[in-house]
Amino acid sequence: MSINAAIFGCFGPELTRGEAAFFRDCNPWAFILFGRNIETPDQVRKLCADLRNSVGRDALIFVDQEGGRVQRLNPPHWRKAPFAGLFGDLYKLDKAAAKRATWLNFRLIAEELHEVGITADCAPVLDLPVWGSDPIISDRAFSYQSDEMIDIAHACMAGLTAGGIVPVIKHLPGHGRAKVDSHKALPVITESLEELSKTDFIPFKAFKEAPMAMTAHVVINAVDPSAPITISKLAMTKVIRGELGYDGLVMSDDLDMKALKGDLTNLTQRALHAGCDVVLQCSGKLPAMVNVAKGLSPLSGESLRRAQLADLMSNPYETFNPVSALEEYESLIALMDKTDE
């Protein structure tokens, strides 16, 4: 049976019979979890197993576990990870310590995800924040400087992959200067392509070999003023596959965000036609997923190749001692406290 080019969520902490039947019939490529799906380690472990059983294969299961404001697995069962900007602050004091602390932090995150059956993390954020922009990115970014961002992000991705977790860079080709949050409205980027190439695009160019990337629901006027990146074939071809040289799997950001207008079936068709390899729909509401399914196509060609490579990246796993890793991590973070004394 063909695998369809979608990533779906489910509505609650348990998979319902209706959801299981839909997933069996639709056969989406992967799944994503949110706070509404997460209660305890045993419960998450069972939910991941049930999701995979519904499609009869070892499908990737995604989560947004950046740390800080964006963390779906939380205390008391999981460690509260810091916001990304903390590592940028440490980097200014001690580059080596910052990179090691970043690796340890994301290796610890990877261990927690691996233990419950989650295999992909929608991190790191590579959007470069700009002063005066909407705060939706702000401290979710490692730095406001591209060279610092790239250095720290390498450590983040290495920590995740060492624990068998596939990273997803986001949000192609940059959401950092948006004046509005794309969850609420459609941002329009008015800077020239030349200016963006010297700023926003730089971190994404540095990670053009990353296995997966998520789009930004933004309009770039200099490329295609008529449509956001996610549903613009011109922007996808000229910027993401062209200017950035990105050849990994491109997944849309959530189709339910208010930056996109139109019904879900049409948006699904437009995103896939534009060049997204898979679409992401996050609400977990069955009627919405059915509408997405009506617009889906099977994974094939280059999209299938990219999806298969992403699947393979969840297999490597290096054992390590989380207790000693946490102790080392905390000692490195403590360097910041010492500078304040």
Query: What's the pLDDT band for 213 if we cut at 50, 70, 90?
Result: very high
Residue pair 284/34 in contact (Cβ under 8 Å)? The answer is: yes
Tell me what pLDDT residue 317 has: 78
Active site residue 340: no
Tens digits of residue pLDDT in 103-116: 999 999 999 999 99
Active site residue 134: no
- The residue count of the chain comes to 341
Residue pair 149/128 in contact (Cβ under 8 Å)? The answer is: yes
Tens digits of residue pLDDT in 73-85: 999 999 999 999 9
Tens digits of residue pLDDT in 154-205: 999 999 999 999 999 999 999 999 999 999 999 999 999 999 999 999 999 9
Q: Is 144 exposed, middle or buried (0-12, 13-18, 19+ CB in 10 A)?
A: middle
Which CATH number do you get for residue 219?
3.20.20.300
Q: Which candidate in 181, 183, 247, 256 is catalytic?
A: 183
For residue 66, give its domain range: 4-340
Query: What's the pLDDT band for 316 if we cut at 50, 70, 90?
Result: confident
**How many domains does one find in the chain?**
1
Q: Which candidate in 224, 253, 254, 277 is catalytic?
A: 253
* Prediction pTM value: 0.96
Does pLDDT of 339 surpass 70? no
Residue pair 179/187 in contact (Cβ under 8 Å)? The answer is: yes
Closest among 92, 34, 108, 113 to 281, alpha carbons compared: 34
Tens digits of residue pLDDT in 251-307: 999 999 999 999 999 999 999 999 999 999 999 999 999 999 999 999 999 999 999
